[in-house]
Structure 1
Amino acid sequence: MSQIQIRRCEEADWPAVWPLLRATFEAGDTYAFSPDSTEAEIHAAWMEAPRATYVVRDGEGPVLGTYFIKANQPGLGSHVCNCGYVVAPEAQGQGLASAMCEHSQREALAMGFLAMQFNLVVSTNERAVRLWQRLGFEVVATLPRAFRHLRLGLVDAFVMFKTLG
């Protein structure tokens, strides 16, 4: 990676973002989205519902990752945000998830969020669990058999939390 850039996602980025999301969700091992979710459903969840969505590129190259920020709850819980991150398979292991998470924490603080919560971190996604812990997130709850992994069946999921600032 020479010069990664993280910037706000624009509608013109969607044709590059959608295949990354579709492949990730079809795998059925890290996200609760149904593997057969439609493009319209995922567009609404990833582009319309969040407060902001971002893309990662290496210079003018293809989209290598994307993430969103949204309030985890409405009203009295809206000071805690939630994020979701996806890295293209060919870019995994190169620090993009870490860069996106660090970027998202700065953006969240600038938006007025006081904490960040991940609601359903699949326990078998050990690489992500280790990364989030390295970046200061704690497992605050284990949800027994809360995720229907397409290959492994029912597995635990974690709620992970970090106070920002």
Structure 2
Amino acid sequence: MEIREFTGTDWPDVWPIVREIVRAGETYTYDPGMTEDQARDTWIETPPGRTVVALDGGRLVGTAKMGTNRPGPGAHVATASFMVAADARGRGVGAALCAHALDWARGAGYAGMQFNAVAASNTAAVRIYERLGFSIVGTVPGAFAHPTLGRVGLHVMYIEF
């Protein structure tokens, strides 16, 4: 698997992944009615942040964005988000993207990485994050309105470097 910097010509392959995940409403707090332009503005990071894509056999199978979690006094902590094509899940793409984001954040001098809103029902992602060293530092009960499970908790997860 190759992970490389996003280029503008990748968007036609990234958008279907983002669209499917956002519209499903099962993992992200994004508006399921998000337009393509809104999605592009939300997903593509500007420096010092970074957006990458994962390729498997030349096919784009996932994407990640990473950057500073909060400005000012919180600027020493990074954050990241990951999306994987439905037919590529369970093959290590998400874990590889997360490991890449962690390496990027360490190399950029961040003190740690924080995920602000991990749906408790997204157990596959939680397992990956914990395996890579993240801890759940808190859960907001019922903060995520899952389309079939109802209100579930949102985890705040953190790893210190």
User: Smaller-chain TM-score range?
Assistant: over 0.9
Which residue of structure 1 lines up, in the alignment, with residue 91 of structure 2? 94
Which residue of structure 1 lines up, in the alignment, with residue 130 of structure 2? 133
Q: Does 1:29 align with 2:26?
A: yes
Q: Does 1:120 align with 2:131?
A: no
Q: Which runs of 5+ in 1 are unaligned?
A: none
Q: CA deviation at 1:158?
A: 0.4
Which residue of structure 2 lines up, in the alignment, with residue 42 of structure 1? 39
**CA–CA distance in 2 between the matches of 1:129 and 1:58?**
23
Q: Which of 146, 150, 154 is matched with 1:153 structurally?
A: 150
**CA–CA distance in 2 between the matches of 1:29 and 1:107?**
27
Q: CA deviation at 1:105?
A: 0.6
**CA–CA distance in 1 between the matches of 2:145 and 2:65?**
23
Q: Percent identity?
A: 41
| Secondary structure at 1:120 match in 2 | strand
Q: CA deviation at 1:49?
A: 5.1
Q: Deviations over 1:4-44 (max 9, x none)?
A: 10000011100100000000011101000111101111111
Kindly tell me the number of residue pairs found equivalent between the two proteins. Answer: 160
Give the letter for the 1:23 counterpart.
E
Q: Which of 103, 113, 116 is matched with 2:100 structurally?
A: 103
Give the letter for the 1:54 counterpart.
V
Q: CA deviation at 1:59?
A: 3.2
Q: Which of 75, 78, 81 is matched with 1:78 structurally?
A: 75
Q: Which of 6, 20, 27 is matched with 2:17 structurally?
A: 20
Q: Which of 56, 60, 63 is matched with 1:63 structurally?
A: 60
Q: Which runs of 5+ in 2 are unaligned?
A: none
| TM-score, with structure 2 as normaliser | 0.96
| Secondary structure at 2:96 match in 1 | helix
Runs of 4 or more, structure 1, over 2 Å off, are none
| Secondary structure at 1:63 match in 2 | strand
